């Protein structure tokens, strides 16, 4: 039976206090900074009407929003792959594999993400990706393929720097997912391992049919938190000119001087994205429990 939502007196007081504080802050900004609010121009930076195509198309903020989504999706996939491999290394019977997983986790988690961004940008993007000629490879593809790549990832001329950003976020978030997955697997009781071994399962069959299905429900909540963290951490790659949401906000703010309107809008877009992820994972968690 579902519990009915009840608003207590304390909840009402907190809501009133938050609303009052917000109104007071806006009034202080206008009076103390002599700031003129101009929300009317914000919609045009979300969408604009293209007279050539005769339809509404995304403008700077929505373009940055979509780039943030692409970055987060690819970085999460890469981080999940890295985290799963390193978690298996961490629980391996091989000392070398255990040390490999531990070294990766401790090295990445104790490194400032901004330092990792610059290391990956100046080494991977500037040296390795340029030497491979990723940009030239994508330019040689057909127009239709390039359009598909632009929709899923980035324009061909920005592919090198996009890959650098994905690798950076994937490696950084993968270190945290490694510990989440490892802890989830090791939280399953030893009896489950022994029972499945008694049935004649190999190690991979144990993981696939017995251990990992049980560990998934324990891994999912912290995994969701790390996905949300990946979305928020994607803002840091704006320092290498990835045109994601934060970068577009900085460009717009310097051009329009609409400091508060721009950043409140960006905050709302980030909240929309992260809250949607929370709802999806919560629904998935309920489904898995059933």
pLDDT for 181-190, tens place per residue? Answer: 999 988 888 8
Q: Which helix (H) or strand (E) holds 275?
A: helix 259-289
Domains and CATH numbers, the chain: 9-289 (1.10.3720.10)
pLDDT for 56-65, tens place per residue? Answer: 888 899 999 9
Q: How far is CA 38 from CA 49, 96, 262, in A?
A: 20, 60, 10
Residues 6+ apart with CB under 8 A from 24: none
Q: What's the pLDDT at 39?
A: 86
The pTM (predicted TM-score) of the whole model is: 0.84
> ∠ at Cα 54 (51, 56), nearest 5°?
90
Cβ atoms of 37 and 261 within 8 Å: the answer is yes
pLDDT for 228-275, tens place per residue? Answer: 999 999 999 988 888 889 999 999 988 888 888 899 999 999 999 998
């Amino acid at each position: 039976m579902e519990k009915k939502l009840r608003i207590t007196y304390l909840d009402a007081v907190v809501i009133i206090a938050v609303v009052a504080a917000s109104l007071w802050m806006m009034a202080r900004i206008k009076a103390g900074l002599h700031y003129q609010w101009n929300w009317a121009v914000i919609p045009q930076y979300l969408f604009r009407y293209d007279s050539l195509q005769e339809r509404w198309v995304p403008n700077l903020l929505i373009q940055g929003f979509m780039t943030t989504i692409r970055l987060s999706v690819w970085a999460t996939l890469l981080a999940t792959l890295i985290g799963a491999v390193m978690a298996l290394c961490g629980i391996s019977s091989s000392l070398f594999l255990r040390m490999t997983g531990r070294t990766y986790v401790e090295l990445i988690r104790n490194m400032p993400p901004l330092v990792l961004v610059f290391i990956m940008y100046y080494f991977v993007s500037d040296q390795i990706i340029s030497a491979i000629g990723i940009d030239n490879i994508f330019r040689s593809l057909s127009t239709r393929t390039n359009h598909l790549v632009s929709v899923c990832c980035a324009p061909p001329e920005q592919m090198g720097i996009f890959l650098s950003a994905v690798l950076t976020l994937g490696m950084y978030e993968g270190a945290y997912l490694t510990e989440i997955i490892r802890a989830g697997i090791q939280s399953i009781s030893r009896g489950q391992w022994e029972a499945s071994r008694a049935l004649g399962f190999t190690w991979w069959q144990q993981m696939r049919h017995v251990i990992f299905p049980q560990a998934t429900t324990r891994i999912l909540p912290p995994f969701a938190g790390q996905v949300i963290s990946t979305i928020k951490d994607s803002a840091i790659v704006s320092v290498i000119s990835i045109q994601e949401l934060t970068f577009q906000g900085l460009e717009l703010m310097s051009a329009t001087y609409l400091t508060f309107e721009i950043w409140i809008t960006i905050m709302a877009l980030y909240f929309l994205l992260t809250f949607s992820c929370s709802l999806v994972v919560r629904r998935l968690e309920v489904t898995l429990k059933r």
